[in-house]
Amino acid sequence: MLRPTASARPAATAALVEDEAALLARVAAGDRGRPLEELYRRYEARLYGLGLRLLSDQGLAEELVQETFVRLWQQAHRFDPARGSVGSFLFAIARRLAVDLWRRPSSRPFEPEPQDQPASSDPVENLIQGLTIRDALQTLSPHHRQVLELYLLEDRKQSDIAELLGLPLGTVKTRAYYALRAFKLALQERGIHA
């Protein structure tokens, strides 16, 4: 079997992105059947993996997948293909939900806080830290930032990134390595030690 050429891969990826955008447009138009099922088939395993990694609980990971698709169905009209892919939109929903699930008291085992521990951090400090992290990310080259965002924010495997960008796997691995290294250095320069 012949493998597609590097120039054919971006065309296939673009077709996949357009196909997913069309599926989500059908969901937004009220079609609750096949389009939503197809998107579920494509993303359920990756969302479940994200849930396990973020929440460390199989039940919560399953709940994250289910609730993500409920929200996708409810918010499909908000998707703008000019701002990103369906995958980016879906993982943004999932990350917000993961935070909500983790904050929910019934999601965590009861462990009384030790009396000598300081209270949880200030929301303003969290916001400042988030802006600092975003600033550090912006210092990366566009190629490194693109790979890092796909790897960390969309939870994609390096082989998926290579296929998506039409790059050799070795190139993606090299970019991911140097992107993580540069990102860590940029964070350290801003007083955040990862």
- Contacts for 175 with CB less than 8 Å, ≥ 6 apart: 143, 144, 147
Residue ranges of domains in the chain, CATH in brackets: 8-108 (1.10.1740.10), 121-194 (1.10.10.10)
**37-76 as b/e, with b when 16 or more CB fall inside 10 Å?**
eebeebbeebbbebbeebbebeebbebbbebbbeebeeeb
Residue 117's pLDDT is 45
Q: What is the pLDDT along the chain (194 residues), one digit of tens a residue?
A: 445 544 445 665 667 778 888 888 888 888 877 888 988 998 999 999 888 888 888 888 899 999 998 998 888 888 888 888 888 889 889 988 888 888 776 555 545 555 544 444 667 777 777 777 778 888 888 888 888 888 887 888 889 889 988 999 999 899 888 888 888 888 887 777 76
Residue 53's pLDDT is 86
Distance, in Å, from the CA atom of 117 to the CA atom of 81, rounded to the nearest integer, reads 46
Distance, in Å, from the CA atom of 50 to the CA atom of 43, rounded to the nearest integer, reads 11
- Contacts for 189 with CB less than 8 Å, ≥ 6 apart: 136
Residue 45's pLDDT is 92
Q: For the range 127-131, what are the long-range contacts, defined as Cβ-Cβ under 8 Å and sequence gap of 24 or more?
A: 129/192
Q: Is 17 exposed, middle or buried (0-12, 13-18, 19+ CB in 10 A)?
A: middle
Residue 104's pLDDT is 73
Closest C-alpha to 192, from 142, 123, 126: 126
Give the pTM.
Answer: 0.51
Residue 121's pLDDT is 61
> Residue 93, Cβ neighbours under 10 Å: how many?
21
Distance, in Å, from the CA atom of 53 to the CA atom of 55, rounded to the nearest integer, reads 6
